Amino acid sequence: MPILVLEFFFEDTGLSDAGADLVVFLLVVVVLGIFGWIYFTMRYRFSAKFLLVKSGPFSWNIPLQEISKIEPTHNPRRVPRYRWTVW
């Protein structure tokens, strides 16, 4: 659906059909690339006091003493791939 909306938006900008298709294609590739970067670069590291989570351009430092429970998740919409409960 978003691709159709983008097609209609760029159709009225004066670009040729091929130009509008190219712009929409590039936008879709960039968005999918960002999602892939976030999903496939997920890394967890432990330091003496923190759980360090890095995913694409995002990072979290979670104090170990605040984590009460860690459990895996199989929901692809959730990033990071593990869910932790902080007090």
Taking only the tens place, the pLDDT of each residue in 13-68 is 676 777 777 877 888 899 889 888 887 888 888 899 998 888 888 888 989 998 88
Vertex 53, ends 83 and 43: CA angle to 5°? 100
Read off the tokens for 5. Answer: 């909306």
Residues 6+ apart with CB under 8 A from 78: none
78: alpha, beta or left, given left = phi > 0 and alpha = psi -120 to 50?
A: beta
Tell me the domain boundaries of the chain. Answer: 1-40, 42-87
Residues 6+ apart with CB under 8 A from 40: none
Give the predicted TM-score (pTM) of the model.
0.56
